[in-house]
Chain A
């Protein structure tokens, strides 16, 4: 199935794409067909700079367990980081 479900969030930071580093403006998160990963569906994240065109994109396609592990690792890392550094 194509889930169509998409969450778009503004992000601030940088990503490294095919042509090097670029500033990020948005990320989209969706569970849908992957382009490359060998699975019917994956949790996909596109890190984008919508002002720089379609090629300004860093893409990942993760199976559900990997995506949950990554999300937990991100939150855990942030929780352990001294607040004065953030």
Chain B
């Protein structure tokens, strides 16, 4: 099995035709074509750890792209400075997020090694945004890793432009994989249960896994929240899910 890949910065068309920065990790070899994954970065930004996740997908023979959602406010800034700037400005508007993910997905579909299928995966705030994108765009699969405020309403007075999006579930265009921590409060297990009910009522295909002993951000290898057992099993769930919905070419 080949493991050759190429990875680096590209510029793509995002929401409104704006040019934004993105990180593209692409398998190199004769074993394509490949499915594509739009990796939606967490609230701390377009950072080294998220780029590592993109390369992990390329290692498993998926095209992966991370759009820099903070590019407009902070082009060229360090990830932590960019995240602080966007937080102070009120966060990423949902409409712009959908446009940027659409641009990233189009970039993958037009890649010479694409099999035509594209999924999203997002962590933390990106989990909610992955669900939002999958309810707004035509995708082949979506993964929500502990996204808060899909169901719940944020506290009053919060300046960030974030609101519940579960009412969009009837528009979900693809199967959804949800990976959550039982000790998480954002989202709390009761919220993900409520989302399951909403998805069942809407007749949507989904599978949720909630890990005991894990809280928010259990995939984050560089943070105290990292829970190896949950993360390793979560990755296996992702490979299985993408293997079924993303790996084979569109007929």
Contacts and interface: CB of A to CB of B under 8 A. Distances in A.
Interface of A: 1-8, 26, 28, 30, 32-33, 35, 38-40, 46, 48, 50, 53-55, 57, 59
Contact of A1 (B81, B82, B186): B186
A38 B224 contact: yes
A8 B160 contact: no
A54 B73 contact: yes
A28 B81 CA distance: 12
Contacts of A38: 224
A2 to B, nearest CB: 5
B43 interface: yes
A48 B88 contact: yes
Contacts of A4: 43, 91, 125, 148-149, 154, 158, 160, 162, 186
Interface in B14-33: none
B195 interface: no
B2 interface: no
A59 B78 CA distance: 13
Nearest to A48: B88
Given A54-B74, A55-B81, 11 more contacts: A2-B186, A4-B125, A4-B158, A4-B186, A5-B158, A7-B159, A28-B88, A33-B225, A48-B88, A54-B73, A55-B77
A72 B201 CA distance: 52
Contacts of B200: none
Instruction: Indicate the size class of the contact surface on chain B.
Output: 35 or more
Contacts of B88: 6, 8, 26, 28, 46, 48, 50
Interface in B44-95: 44, 73-74, 77-78, 80-82, 84-85, 87-89, 91
Closest 7 A-B residue pairs measured CB to CB?
A54-B77, A1-B216, A54-B74, A54-B81, A1-B186, A54-B85, A46-B84
Contact of A6 (B149, B159, B224): B159
9 contacts: A4-B43, A5-B158, A6-B87, A6-B159, A8-B88, A40-B215, A48-B88, A54-B73, A57-B81
A32 B91 CA distance: 15
Given A2-B186, A38-B224, A8 B159 contact: yes
Contacts of B154: 4
Contacts of B148: 1-2, 4
